[in-house]
Structure 1
Amino acid sequence: MTHMVNTVADGRVDKMTSQAEKTSGSGVVSAPPPKPVVGRGRDHRIDAMRGVALLMMFIDHIPQNLLNRFTMRNVGFADAAEVFVLLAGYASWLAYGRGFRKYGVPTILKRIFRRCVQLYIGQTIMVAAYVFTVRAWRHFTPVSVDYLEPELAHGMGWVWRVMMFDALPSNLNILPLYIVLLGGFPLFYVLMRVHRSLALVLSGAVWLFVNFDPEINFPNWLDPDGWYFNPFAWQFLFALGLTASAETERRGGDLPQKQLLVIASILYLVFSAIQAFPWTLWGLPDFRPFGDSIAPAKTWLSPFRLLDVVAIFYLVQSSDKARQWAAESKLGQILARVGRHSLEIFVVGTVLDLYARLIFSTFGDGWGLQVAVNIVGLAVLFWLAAWLDARRTRQRAALAASK
């Protein structure tokens, strides 16, 4: 069979060569036209990384959870929130940036508005779940006011503040940031159309200015320091994701793998891991080279945190092996499935966090409950991702069949 295929292929080549010689009128064979670049399909690395970030956020938002000793915040300056926002920028370009010329400005603006509404609905669901759950739980056992913030634990006069993002309770503050950043996407796009680096340069300048003056922030009725995720600082991370996505699209592949950048990224992550690791929590000697002198602020996105997440992102997005793992391995596909439904997973995971905290504070945080809470919580999230993925597949199949 192989010999037959080779024979046919050789015959086709000879035929093409003969035709080319006849066309050129000389003994010199004309070079065949270059083959068009074939698209590599969906990049599952983005989905898989976002899936990992969502699962780590679920674990990290339960203070009593022993499993959060093993998440990325223990081995680096950055945590899952930075990964989530950077990938939000990357995915936003894929979802909307390419569509302005293809579908027109009005259509894409409607899509962005519709997504912002979906995010707002998700925020409303989480706030309502927190309020009603805590107030119902109080009928059976005391609950610390910290679960709702002291100002929100009494009365209903604060509702309009939460709905207008004038008050942002803890653990319920990342979707408002996402809405603000996504709402500003058209401005990022216009600047990128003027020059592909203009949005990144201006965004970086604003971020740098905020790092020199952290008081520049959105007001928060619950915190005199403003939003915990300062939009004026975190927009730079979003802009980095947008620019990286546009650049990989322009190149038609991965980020360029430069050996010097790979080495620099690895060395920085090693330093970050040693400096950020909670040595004393594990009963070990403190090996941090700079002790307590480095305390990277999360609110205004300290350069140490920024470099950490950028190094991770670069190593993954410049690696073809990482692309292959995310697309072909069983674990990579499971994580990618979680990441493809980020809003639903985040909302459900945040509500599960509340129940886990209430269970631990009411019944204790012994090993039995630790195992039960983590197994049940993660199982619910994995099941939800699988169900949502299957539903989307059925919907697409029905749509294709109707055409």
Structure 2
Amino acid sequence: MPARREIRIDFIRGLALLAIFVGHAGFDFSDAFQQARGFSDASEIFVLLAGVSAALAYWRPSGFDPEAASAKTLRRALRLYLVHLAMVAALLLSVALPPIASRPAIVAELGLDTFGAAPVRNAVEIVLLSFMPGDLDILPLYVFLIVATPFFLALHERSRRLLLALSGGLALAFGALKLDFVNDAMPAGGWYFDPLSWQFVFVIGLCIGVGLKRGRDPLAYRPWLFRLAATFVLTAIPANLLLHFVFTEISSSHLVHALVSKTFVGPLRLANALALLYVLWNLSAVKRLTADGALAPVFAAGAASLPVFVFGLALSTLCQMLMASEVAIPLAAQACLAVGGCLAQLVLATHLGERKLKRRNASVPLAASLPQG
């Protein structure tokens, strides 16, 4: 009998997708929205849940098969890689259009102001994942993580503690040394999400997923831990807002930057993400939700995360272009765009869910529905 789908993953991931859209759209309130979620944001939750989902998809309690898992993960990674290249191509075509090409501020905002100086070299770098404009290094991060998944799972088979120790040590070393992969499209010159730091977030999710697959819940409710996590999450919100908007000199110090670094997953950021996931996982209101209730579109978005994420990223890029243009967008209109973008993603997710259900029903052999004589 197949294991019951853990729908909390879909719900939390669906919420994260909507939050990623609003936070990346470049609205006047996008920065405040990002900082109002504490030291972490939706990205950490999304990567944690990606690790959980990878374990549920590729690990088997009956025995882990590295070769079978490698074949599956390579197919998945190739699909993500091709989607990424298609998104970069679409972005390049869009900025070549006269209305956008004539707006240097928009082109610079997307990290494409230097592309024309060496288009052939940059095209090769795009293929090699060393030239990624805008916010387009998230899918390459997943390519890296999915390709590495069989190795992570094989090491988990030997020792979960060893996997966590090696993964955490690697992340700590790269964060301390500030070593990152090259991204010539962005001013910092590196990936916004350093893969060798973010792999630790993914590995933690992977260990949670293996636990779920074994029939136990590593995120099981414990009153003292829930109170501690909730206190941390609620305290982090005003603390981060004060650091970001009031005590800006303190927030720019080396120590605070290291603690909350997004590129290298600072320890405060990781702790906040884990606490937030634990709270959401154990909220009574979330536990009572059903995938066919009023919030069904949010569940559908989490279940169809790749197409919804790509669509949301396209929408947020369009919003960035609009906000970087010379047209003044009233705050009320920006709020309408934010709500409209979220609704558009939910409509797409609902459509994809219905289409998947129809395909599943159509694939049932006709003979199974006929009386047997």
Q: Deviations over 1:240-278 (max 9, x none)?
A: 000011122324446222222212212221221121125
TM-fit CA distance, 1:310: 0.4
Aligned to 1:199: 163
The answer for the alignment partner of 2:320 in structure 1 is 357
Cα distance, 1:42 vs. partner? Answer: 1.3
Q: Does 1:323 align with 2:284?
A: no
Structure 1: runs of 5+ lacking an equivalent: 1-37
Identity of aligned residues (%): 27
**Which position in structure 1 is the counterpart of 2:93?**
132
Give the Cα–Cα distance (whole angstroms) in 1 for the partners of residues 353 and 171 of structure 2.
37
Cα RMSD over matched residues? 2.7
Aligned to 1:59: 22
- C-alpha displacement of 1:371: 4.2
SS at match of 1:171: coil
Cα shift at 1:186: 0.8
2:50 is the counterpart of 1:88: yes
The 1:279–1:239 alpha-carbon spacing in structure 2 relative to 1, beyond 3 Å, is: closer
CA contact (8 A) 1:64 1:365 kept: no
* Unmatched tracts of structure 2, length 5 or more: 369-373
Query: Once the 2 structures are TM-superposed, how far is the Cα of residue 115 of structure 1 from its aligned partner?
Result: 1.0
Q: Measure the CA separation in 2 of the matches of 1:123 and 1:99.
A: 33
Name which of 118, 124, 142 aligns with 1:160.
Answer: 124
- The match for 2:145 is 181
Summarize the alignment of residues 374-389 of structure 1 with structure 2, pairs less than 5 Å apart.
Answer: 374-389=338-353
Alignment of 1:206-285 (within 5 A): 206-214=170-178, 216-222=179-185, 223=187, 225-253=189-217, 255-277=219-241
The answer for the alignment partner of 1:42 in structure 2 is: 5
- Secondary structure in 2 matching 1:122: helix
Letter in 2 for 1:57: I
Question: Size of the alignment, in residue pairs?
Answer: 357
Matched with 2:355 is 391
CA distance in 2, matches of 1:195, 1:348: 39
Residue aligned with 2:97, SS = helix
Q: 1:267 to 1:374 in 2, by over 3 A?
A: closer
Higher Rg of the two aligned structures: 1
TM-score under structure 2 length normalisation: 0.86
**Residue 133 (structure 2) aligns with:** 169
Could you tell me which amino acid in structure 1 is paired with residue 206 of structure 2? L
Q: Retained in 2: the 8 A contact 1:254–1:318? A: no
TM-score (norm 1): 0.80
Secondary structure class of the residue paired with 1:87: helix
Instruction: Please tell me the residue identity of whatever aligns with 1:112.
Output: T
Distance 1:393-1:76 versus aligned 2 partners, 3 A rule: same
1:301 is matched with which residue: 265, 269, 281? 265
Q: Do the aligned partners of residues 287 and 356 (structure 1) sit closer, same or farther apart at CA in structure 2, a change above 3 Å counting?
A: closer
Secondary structure, counterpart of 1:363 in structure 2: coil
